Structure 1
C-alpha cells in the first residue's frame, strides 16, 4: 500500500444556498480544490452525500457531478453512511489511491438540507435511524441523542448547563472562520436560557442544518514529494467502525463503541497516541456526542467529558483543541459534507493557514465523522511531515 497525501482543498461557505443546486455547490468546492492542487484531471470522483434522494429527489450524484465539473468518463460513485458520508467517501478514495488503483482522486462532500422544512425535514432525518424499530415509533437522531444525554446526566450526576463549554468554544472559533454559518458568541448564560428542542437538549446544544460542499484531492505521497508540492499533508490513518443503529441494541448506550474502535485503529496505523494529537475535529452535532467522543477517543475518562471541557481542556490553548474552525455547531451541519469540511479544516491548521484560529506548532490533526448517533465512525489522522 502506498502512502497518500492531500494535495488540494476547497470549500463553499456553509449556510442556506437557495439559489444553488447540489451540482453547483460541488463545482465550486471541486474547482477550488483542483486549483489548490494544481491539477486539471483526476482518475476518480467520490461523492459523500446523505439526503440528496430524500430532499432533492436526486440519486446518481457521482455521474451527475462528474459530468457537470468536466470529468465525464471517469469513475464516479456516491458514498452514503448517513452523516458520516463525507468521511466514508474519503475512506474509499484513500483506499483507491493507496492500492494503486488511482493516482489522483477527488472527494467532494455536498449537501442541501435547508430545502426541507417541517415534516419533510423530519422524514429525511428518520432515514438515519432503524426504520423498523426506531423511526416507526417516531425516534429521530435528535430524540435518540436526547435519551442518551438524559441517561448520561443520571449516571454521571451532570446537568444540562455542564455541556455549555462545547457550544461556547465552537461559536468562539466560528467567529474567525469566513465559511462558518454563525459568527456570534454564545455565553454560558445564553446557553442555559435557550429553549428546549428535545429535552434535555436545548437549542444551543444542537448544530443547525445547513447547505454546503467541501472537496479534497488525494495523490500518492511519493508524487507529492517528487513534485515538491507545497501544502501537501500526509493522510497517516484512515479507519472505520460500526455499532448497532438502534441505541437499544447497543451493549452500552453511553459508550460510542464505533468511535472507540475506529480511533484505536487510526492511532495504531499512524503510530501515535492521544497525547501526540494537536487538534481534533469531532462530530459535535449535539454536545452529548462531543462529550462522549472525547471519552471514546481517549482524551477524557468515562463520564468526565463535560468536566474536561468545562475546565478549559478543549480551547485553542487547551489540552486538545476541538472544533477549531467552529465545528458543526458554529460552522453548520452540512450533513454528508461534514466529514470533508473537517478534513479541509485540519489541513488548514497543519499548513499554518488557519488565521486567528491557528493552533501553534500543529503537526498532527485528527478528524472523526459520525453517522447519526454513532452507528458509523470514520476517523482520519493527518500529519505534516
Structure 2
C-alpha cells in the first residue's frame, strides 16, 4: 500500500548576500516558517533531508541541533543546483512508501563567503581542466542555439526583462531594482558571449524548506501529482542534443507520465533560469514549446505573469537569486504559494497545476548532474 504525498507547508529565508550571518540561521528562518505553515510542532517531524552544495561540513547536524530534534534520522544530498529538489524527491518517495509520516526538507547554501563571481569549476573534472565555468558552458549552449535556429539577441534578453520585472514584486528576492529594458540587458557587460551581465543569476545566500507528509485532509495542503529525478548521462560529440537538454527531457517525460498530464495542462512553472538560455531550452525540453520555438515565449507574452503559462513569477534565479542547494526549495515554495492563491502581487490568474524543474550543472562529461521535475496541484 502506498501513501499519497502532500506538501503540508513551505518557508524560505530572504535571498541575498548575507556574509555576516551563520549559514544555519538562514536555515532556521525557512524551517520555522514551514513548520508554522504546516500547522505542526517540530516533534512531529520523523526525518530530515538536507540539500546543500557548499554548506560547511556538519551544517545539517547544526541545523538539527538548533531545531531541538536530536535522534531524528537526517541525511544530506548534494546534486549541484538540483540538491534541494533532490532532497524533496527523496522525502516524497519516503512518504509514498510509508517509511516516514512527516519529513522536513531543507535546502541551504551561503555562496557570498566563497565566491565573488562565477563558481570556480572543480579542477579534476573535464570542464575544470578546460577552465570552463558555468557561464561559459551556458554561453556555448546559447551560441549553438542561435546558430541552429537563428534566434535574435533580443529574444534572449526578453527572458531577463520578464523575470526581473517579476522579481520587483517578490519581497524576498535578491535583485529588486528597476526592471531593465531589452536594450539595457544587451548593453550590460559581456560575461560569456552572447550572455551579458544581466542575463546571469547573482551569487546568493538563502534557505528554503518544505514539510512533506500524507493526505491528512487539511485545507491548504498541496497534492504531489508527480516527482521524477534523473541523473546525468554521458555527453560528448555523439550526443545530438545541446548540453543539459536530455536530462530535463527525461525527467519531464517521467513526471508527465506519472501525473497523467501533458505540458499544456500546467498553469504555471518555476524553472531553472540561471542564465537566460537556460529558461528557453528548459521550456523546450519540458514540451511547453517545440524545438527552436522556446525563444518566442517571453517576447510573445506567453510566459509572462499574465500570459497563458506564466514562467518564473517569483523572478526566477535571475532575480530571486541562486544559492544552489536552496534554489529548488524556493521554487517549491513559490509554486505552493501560487497554487494556494497567496502570492500577493505576483499571483497568476490560473493556478490549479504547477510545475517545478531544477537541473544541476554539468561535470565530468555528463549532460548535467541531476534533474528533478515535480508536478503539484490543488486537491479537488
- TM-score tier, shorter chain, comes to over 0.9
State the 1:255 CA deviation.
6.4
The residue correspondences of 1:147-158 to structure 2 (distance < 5 A) are: 147-158=140-151
Which residue, out of 350, 354, 361, partners 1:365? Answer: 354
State the 1:62 CA deviation.
2.9
State the 1:331 CA deviation.
0.6
The gaps in structure 2 that reach 5 residues or longer are none
Aligned twin of 2:21? 20
Q: 1:70, 1:248 → 2: CA distance?
A: 51
Q: Report whether the alignment pairs 1:328 with 2:314.
A: no
Which residue, out of 101, 126, 137, partners 2:121? Answer: 126
Q: What TM-score, normalized by structure 2, do the two folds share?
A: 0.93
Q: 1:336, 1:255 → 2: CA distance?
A: 18
The residue correspondences of 1:347-366 to structure 2 (distance < 5 A) are: 347-366=336-355
Q: What TM-score, normalized by structure 1, do the two folds share?
A: 0.92
Which residue, out of 158, 174, 190, partners 2:184? Answer: 190
State the 1:176 CA deviation.
0.9
Q: 1:256, 1:136 → 2: CA distance?
A: 23
Q: 1:95, 1:213 → 2: CA distance?
A: 22
RMSD: 1.6
User: Bigger shift: 277-286 or 140-149?
Assistant: 140-149
Which residue, out of 48, 51, 75, partners 2:51? Answer: 48
CA contact (8 A) 2:155 2:299 kept: yes
Query: Quick one: structure 1 residues 202 and 278, their matched pair in 2 at CA, closer, same or farther if it must change by over 3 Å?
Result: same
Q: Report whether the alignment pairs 1:112 with 2:105.
A: no
The residue correspondences of 1:205-354 to structure 2 (distance < 5 A) are: 205-221=199-215, 224-225=216-217, 229-244=218-233, 250-253=239-242, 256-354=245-343
Q: 2:142, 2:312 → 1: CA distance?
A: 20
Q: Report whether the alignment pairs 1:65 with 2:60.
A: no
Aligned twin of 1:37? 38
Aligned twin of 1:55? none
Q: 2:223, 2:347 → 1: CA distance?
A: 19
Q: How many residues align?
A: 370
Q: 1:141, 1:70 → 2: CA distance?
A: 38
SS of structure 1 residue aligned to 2:151: coil
Which residue, out of 348, 368, 376, partners 1:382? Answer: 376
State the 1:243 CA deviation.
2.7
Cα deviation digits, residues 213-268 of structure 1 (max 9, x gap) = 010101101xx21xxx2311011110012334766574422660110111111111
Q: 1:234, 1:211 → 2: CA distance?
A: 29
CA contact (8 A) 1:14 1:331 kept: yes
Aligned twin of 1:81? 79
Query: Quick one: structure 1 residues 136 and 314, their matched pair in 2 at CA, closer, same or farther if it must change by over 3 Å?
Result: same
CA contact (8 A) 1:106 1:217 kept: yes
Query: Quick one: structure 1 residues 279 and 264, their matched pair in 2 at CA, closer, same or farther if it must change by over 3 Å?
Result: same
